[in-house]
Structure 1
Amino acid sequence: MPANLTPQYFEAEKRYRSAETPDERIAALQEMLAVMP
Protein backbone atom coordinates (compact mmCIF):
# COMPACT_ATOMS: atom_id res chain seq x y z
CA MET A 1 0.00 0.00 0.00
CA PRO A 2 1.50 3.37 -0.95
CA ALA A 3 2.02 5.98 1.72
CA ASN A 4 1.35 9.69 1.30
CA LEU A 5 4.60 10.95 2.77
CA THR A 6 5.23 14.63 3.33
CA PRO A 7 8.17 16.70 2.07
CA GLN A 8 9.31 16.95 5.72
CA TYR A 9 9.57 13.16 5.81
CA PHE A 10 11.76 13.08 2.71
CA GLU A 11 14.03 15.79 4.18
CA ALA A 12 14.41 13.75 7.37
CA GLU A 13 15.11 10.62 5.31
CA LYS A 14 17.80 12.49 3.39
CA ARG A 15 19.39 13.53 6.71
CA TYR A 16 19.17 9.92 7.91
CA ARG A 17 20.93 8.58 4.81
CA SER A 18 23.70 11.18 5.07
CA ALA A 19 24.14 10.84 8.85
CA GLU A 20 27.56 9.72 10.01
CA THR A 21 26.95 9.06 13.70
CA PRO A 22 24.37 6.88 15.45
CA ASP A 23 23.03 9.95 17.28
CA GLU A 24 22.39 11.73 13.96
CA ARG A 25 20.61 8.64 12.62
CA ILE A 26 18.43 8.35 15.73
CA ALA A 27 17.45 12.02 15.55
CA ALA A 28 16.51 11.68 11.87
CA LEU A 29 14.53 8.50 12.52
CA GLN A 30 12.64 10.19 15.34
CA GLU A 31 11.74 13.06 13.04
CA MET A 32 10.66 10.61 10.31
CA LEU A 33 8.32 8.90 12.77
CA ALA A 34 6.98 12.22 14.05
CA VAL A 35 5.96 13.50 10.60
CA MET A 36 4.70 10.19 9.22
CA PRO A 37 0.93 10.21 8.59
Structure 2
Amino acid sequence: MPANLTPEFLKARERFRAAQTPEEKLAALEEMLATIP
Protein backbone atom coordinates (compact mmCIF):
# COMPACT_ATOMS: atom_id res chain seq x y z
CA MET A 1 0.00 0.00 0.00
CA PRO A 2 1.47 3.39 -0.92
CA ALA A 3 2.10 5.88 1.85
CA ASN A 4 1.27 9.56 1.69
CA LEU A 5 4.63 10.85 2.84
CA THR A 6 5.08 14.57 3.33
CA PRO A 7 7.95 16.54 1.81
CA GLU A 8 9.24 17.14 5.35
CA PHE A 9 9.40 13.38 5.96
CA LEU A 10 11.21 12.79 2.68
CA LYS A 11 13.80 15.45 3.56
CA ALA A 12 14.32 13.87 6.97
CA ARG A 13 14.72 10.45 5.35
CA GLU A 14 17.41 11.82 3.05
CA ARG A 15 19.16 13.37 6.06
CA PHE A 16 19.03 9.97 7.78
CA ARG A 17 20.54 8.22 4.77
CA ALA A 18 23.31 10.81 4.53
CA ALA A 19 24.05 10.85 8.28
CA GLN A 20 27.50 9.72 9.33
CA THR A 21 27.27 9.70 13.12
CA PRO A 22 24.78 7.98 15.41
CA GLU A 23 23.73 11.41 16.73
CA GLU A 24 22.90 12.63 13.21
CA LYS A 25 20.96 9.44 12.51
CA LEU A 26 19.01 9.77 15.75
CA ALA A 27 18.11 13.39 15.04
CA ALA A 28 16.90 12.48 11.56
CA LEU A 29 14.88 9.52 12.89
CA GLU A 30 13.23 11.75 15.50
CA GLU A 31 12.29 14.22 12.76
CA MET A 32 10.94 11.37 10.62
CA LEU A 33 8.76 10.15 13.50
CA ALA A 34 7.49 13.68 14.13
CA THR A 35 6.44 14.14 10.50
CA ILE A 36 4.84 10.76 9.74
CA PRO A 37 1.28 11.37 8.56
TM-score range, shorter chain: over 0.9
2:20 matched to which residue of 1? 20
* 4+ residue segments displaced more than 2 Å: none
* Structure 1: runs of 5 or more not aligned: none
Q: How many residues align?
A: 37
Identity, % of aligned positions? 59
1:11 matches 2:8 = no
**Residues 9-35 of structure 1: per-residue CA shift (max 9 Å, x gap):** 010011000000000000000100100
Q: TM-score, normalised by structure 1?
A: 0.93
Q: TM-score, normalised by structure 2?
A: 0.93
Q: How well do the aligned residues superpose, as a CA RMSD in angstroms?
A: 0.5
* Structure 2: runs of 5 or more not aligned: none
